[in-house]
Structure formats: C-alpha cells, structure tokens
Amino acid sequence: MVERRRLIDVLPHLVLLIGIAIVAFPVYVAFVASTWDAATISNGQMPLRPGPHFLENYYRTIFIGTSSSTREPVGNMMLNSLIMALCIAIGKIAISLISAFAVVYFRFPFRMAAFWVIFMTLMLPVEVRIFPTYKIVADLNMLDTFAGLTIPLIASATATLLFRQFFMTVPDELVEASKIDGAGPMKFFFDTLVPLSITSVAAMFVVQFIYGWNQYLWPLLITTKDNMQTIVIGIKKMIVTQDALTEWQLAMATAILAMLPPVIVVVAMQKLFVKGLVETEK
Amino acid sequence: MSDVRLDAVRKVYPGGVEAVKGVSLEIADGQFCVLVGPSGCGKSTLLRMVAGLETISGGTCAIDGKVVNEIEPAERDIAMVFQNYALYPHMSVYDNMAYGLRNRGTPKDEIDARVKEAARILEVEPFLARKPKALSGGQRQRVAMGRAIVRKPKVFLFDEPLSNLDAKLRIQMRVEIKKLQRALKTTSIYVTHDQLEAMTLADQLVVMNKGQVEQAGAPLDLYEKPQTIFVAGFIGAPPMNLVTVPEAGLPGLTLIERPAGPVVLGIRPEHLHEQPMGPDTLTVEIVVSAVEAVGAETYLYGALHGHGPELIVRVPGRATHAPGQRIRACAEASQLHFFNPQTGRRID
C-alpha cells in the first residue's frame, strides 16, 4: 500500500509512546531519586529532575553500602547475584542440552517416560517444592554456599523442551553423515549439534540469566550470612519499615544497579535472542 | 579390489514390515551399479544397509570380501552422498570436506592436499571458505561429492543425489558423476527413481520392486530383453505399450506369430512404424486421441480400434496427425516382447 493515512501512521506511535511512558516513568523516578540526598526525598518534595548527589550516592552504594540494614556494599551483592545468575543460566543450558540430546538421539528403555517426567517438572517450580528442597540442601550442608544457591535451580524443563524441539528439526542425514565421517555420538554433539544450537543457546541464556538474577525467595531461605546476600534481597532489606530511616537514595541506586546487568545481557544478545526464538538455521 | 557382494539380504522392520526380501547382488570392483525402482521398493533401504545406517535383518553384506554386517559405518570405508547433501551448515566448505579425514587422524598437510585436489576436480576452489548456505544447489552437490572423494573410500554410495536439482543441472551433474566415477574407478552404488538417470549412469542396472530384484544386468540388456512385465513398463520413456491379448486376439490388432494362450504383448512406442518396413508381424489400428510434439519426435496417444487399450506411437520429427485420425502402425517380430500374464515373466 503506497497511500498512507496520517491518522493510521500516528495512532500506533501514540499508543506505543504511552506504553513506553507508563513503563519507563517509574524507572526514571527511581533514577532521579538515586541522585538526591535523603532529606530531599523524605520531605516529599523531590523534583523530577536529576539532583547533584549522583556520584556520591552511587559510590556509597557500591563500595560502602547501607550501614544498618544490609551491612554489605552493593558491589559485593552484585557479584553474588552475577555468580548465581551465571551458574544457573550456564548450568541450565548445559544440563538441558545433554538431556535433550539423550531424549532425541538415543533409544533407551523408558525414553518417553523420562521425557514426560522432565516435562512434568514444569508444574513443580521452586515455590512448590521449597520445603523438601530446602531440607535436602540443608542436610547436604550447602546452606550459605553458591552450590546451595544454584544447584536446586539448575534443572530446567523449559530449556530441555526448547532444545528437544530444535534437535528434532535437525535433519537425520546430518547424524548419518557424521556417522560415516567417523564421529561418535559425543563428537557429533560437540562438533555439530551444539554449534547449530548456538542461537537457541543464546535465547535460553538471556531468559535464564534474568530468571537467575531475579531470584528472591530461594536466596532468602538459603543465605543467612551478610556476604552471601544477593542484590534483590539487598533492595528489600534496605527498605526498613519501622524505627529506622530508609535511605531511599541508596535503595533507589541499588534498584537501578540491579536493573543494569539484565538490560546489558538483553541488549548485547538481542540479535541472537530473536534469531533463536524465531529462526532455525539448518 | 573392492567389490560388494550381497547375499540374500533382508530387512524386516520392527512391526513385521519386510522392506527388502532377500536380495543377492554382486557388484564388481570399479563397477557403477544403479538401483532403480518406484518409491517404497526398498532400494534406499538396501543402500543404507550397505552403508551401515540400517541393521541387516538377514543375509550378509560383504565389502572387499569382508562381511560387514556388524561393522560401524565409519569402519566400512564407504562414503555417502545424500539427497539433501547433509552438509554441516556451520562449517566452511573446506571443513566440510576435511571433517571425516580429521576424525580419522589424517595428517594435516595430507588433508590439505586432498581437499585442494578434490576442490580442483569439482571446481569448488573459489568457495572453500564459504558456508554451505552461501552456495547454490549445484555447488552444494559438488561439495557433498567432494566430501565423499577426499576420503578415497572403497565404495561410493549415492542416495538420489540429483533429485533436489533442477532438470538442466541434473543432466549436467549426471554427466559429471559418470566422468568422475570413470576417472576414480571407485565401486559405486547409486539409488534413483529416475529411469533415465539409471540408464545413462549404470554399468549394472538393478530394477527393484516390492523389496525384490526384478532384473539386474547391463542397461541395454534390460531395455532390449526385459525379463518381467514390471521391468518392461519401468525402463524406457515413454513406457512400453503393454497389451493383454487373449487367445482369440483383439479387434484392430493383427499378430502373425505369437505364443499359444493368453499373453501380454509389449511393444515400445519407438518400434511402431507407420510404414511397413519388412516382415512385420504386428499391425495395430489406432484412433489418435492426443498428439504430443516434443520437437525431435512426436508421440501419438490413441486407443486400439477406437475403444481398446491405450497405445503410444512415436513418429520422428513433426507429425501432421490430428486427434480422431485413424492410423495403422506395424512392428517387426524382433521388437515384440511376450509375457505370461499370470507370472509376469517373459516368454521367449
């Protein structure tokens, strides 16, 4: 269609702009709040423009932290969160790739049963199995460790399903060509299947990294030591309700910092991410 | 020496379907053997059993005198070209060809020499660094063949390698495959459903039907002396005219010499002439229903005596025939084929 109506051109943009404003405004307010001092925020007259305390607030947040509530610099919390999110994302991808490989390419007894059991765990997220999982982690002395923080979250039916669907689209002839070329199963897996799955892996990484980064309930249960806190828990702890004064400028700076890594991951992997979800390269 | 010998090879799938019912075949060293047949006749299954991609349910398959029933595909010293090429999409053309050699621990400089040599023969040198995605169908086909020849295997296996190409390229690649095989003198087994491809490529042509070998031999032998009705109808384009003639004969069809009893008479469209050319034993009267001019020749379709079985007559050059016209065509005794309608076998 060559001829275009003005209204039809403008309307979608208007709707999109309103949508963006609704989503982005709170983030902007959080950013503004992180650049003023505590007094300006708490007297209820914080202006909607960035204030003069940007460097000071962020320096204090990252390297010193709040004195009373978290007793830990946010830099360390970010590192904890990063380790946790990376372990969960990479672990999930590794395990899912291998289990999908087993389910698709090997004929073993109860293969479909195994697949359905994996499938059913979709209905059992951490929140549902939290007590038994906690008990096991506690009995294995994994409380306050990264192992305890990540291992129970690694098994992933979603990623297994995604990779299974992808592997089913890989032509059988590639397996056969590999067989004739003298590549055993694991060589086929690493030389052909994994390189072909790279876009799906990227998509999965984005999704699972954010999933890991945003974990709240599980770290809350597993970690008790200050130096094991993750940033999401840190934010919650900073917002004190009784007696003490909430240092809002630091809480908001922490919130902004907590948003950054997922944003970086999404932006950096956007192309691969979209490719991995919509296109299959064969 | 690297001959392939199949002895009563059978394939039974779980569930009891018998895809290949006892095929015995001998393919001599350096011979180009083509398996041809309609889809579902077991030809691909047979090839895949030679490759080791399917287990052999019964009988033996021997390559170079060694029974390979229980040997892994990689150790059979075969190379296979697949219908969809099966190139590794994430590897460059060079790596595609080198992969099999690397897995076998071939020294690096030898891999390089062999890949370059194969690329030169197949004229894919300019594309060595490209990914398969950036190649045309014909180029991919060449790379797939390159992957086979760098290995210098005992046997080449081709599984309908040309069916994904357009008609013109198919003919060109067909000639090249033949030349290449002549030059390399490697025993080859080639599966196709295209009888023209089969005729032109084969040293030994094997026609398969319903999991069994109908006839095996030199292509022209099969053309000239088909042993069964199936082979008669399958080899040749347009197909041989096959008419069931009862003891009493058919109206519009005159046969001077014929075996006793009801027979199936086979006569190729190219062997029917409008002008009598000697001691003709067959004369047919046809009412033309359709005229197909392909340039060098014209095919006349018509029913015997106006309402009998359909026959095809080939006339050279441009024909002036029109539908509805009644023509008379003759054939010599030596060009006639008779088959037993019950057993489907040739009567000599």
CATH of the domain at A208: 1.10.3720.10
**Which residues in chain A are closer than 8 Å to B147, comparing Cβ atoms?**
177, 181
Among all residues of chain A, which has the CA nearest to that of B104?
A182
Domain residues for the domain of A265 are: 75-278
A281 touches chain B (CB under 8 A): yes
In terms of Cβ atoms closer than 10 Å to its own Cβ (0-12, 13-18, 19+), residue A161 is: middle
Whether A21 maps to a domain, the answer reads no
Q: Could you tell me if A183 lies within 8 Å of chain B, comparing CB atoms?
A: yes
For the residues of B82-109, what is the DSSP string, one character each?
A: -TT----TTS-HHHHHHHHHHHTT--HH
Report the C-alpha dihedral over residues A129, A134, A137, A140, rounded to 10 degrees. Answer: -120
Task: Enumerate residues 198 to 257 of chain A having a beta carbon within 8 A of any beta carbon in chain B.
Answer: 198
Asked if the C-beta of A280 comes within 8 angstroms of chain B's C-beta atoms, the answer is: no
A32 domain residue, yes or no: no
Which residues fall within 8 angstroms of residue A114, CB to CB, at 6 or more apart? A102, A103
Asked whether B265 and B336 are in contact (CB, 8 A), the reply is yes
- In this prediction the ipTM stands at 0.83
**Residues lower than pLDDT 70 in chain A:** 1-4, 67-69, 241-244, 279-282
Q: Confirm whether A4 is domain-assigned.
A: no
CB contact under 8 A, B86 and A171: yes
Cβ <8 Å between A179 and B100: no
Give CA–CA dist B328/A263, Å, rounded: 84
**Would you say residue A34 lies in a domain?**
no
For residue A96, the SS3 value is helix
In a domain, A195, yes or no: yes
What's the one-letter identity of residue A245? L
Nearest by CB: A181 against B51, B83, B100: B100
Q: Which domains occur in chain B, in start order?
A: 4-229 (3.40.50.300), 239-347 (2.40.50.140)
Question: Phi then psi for B192, rounded to 5 degrees?
Answer: -155, 160
Best residue of B13, B44, B53, B71 to probe chain A, by most A CBs closer than 10 Å: B53
Taking the CA atoms of B209, B214, B217 and B219 in sequence, report the sign of the dihedral they define: negative
CA–CA separation, A147 and A136 (whole Å): 12
B306: alpha, beta or left, given left = phi > 0 and alpha = psi -120 to 50? left
Q: Write down the pLDDT at residue A242.
A: 67
- Number of domains composing chain A: 1
Q: Is A225 part of a structural domain of the chain?
A: yes
Query: Is A260 a domain residue?
Result: yes
Residue A49 lies in a domain: no
Q: Is the bond into B38 cis (omega within 30 degrees of 0)?
A: no
B277 is written with which tokens? 């050319």
Of B86, B88, B100, the CB nearest to A182: B100
pLDDT given for residue A282 in this prediction:
43
> For chain B, which residues lie within 8 Å of any Cβ of chain A, measuring from their own Cβ?
51-53, 72-74, 78-80, 82-90, 99-100, 103-104, 133, 147
Tens-level pLDDT at each residue, chain B (348 residues): 589 999 999 999 988 889 999 999 999 999 999 999 998 899 999 999 999 999 999 999 999 999 999 999 989 999 999 998 899 999 999 999 999 999 998 999 999 999 999 999 888 999 999 999 999 888 999 999 999 999 899 999 999 999 888 888 899 889 989 999 999 999 999 999 988 899 999 999 999 999 999 999 999 999 999 999 999 999 988 899 999 988 888 888 888 888 888 899 999 999 998 887 777 788 888 999 999 988 889 999 999 887 888 899 999 888 888 888 898 898 988 889 999 999 989 988
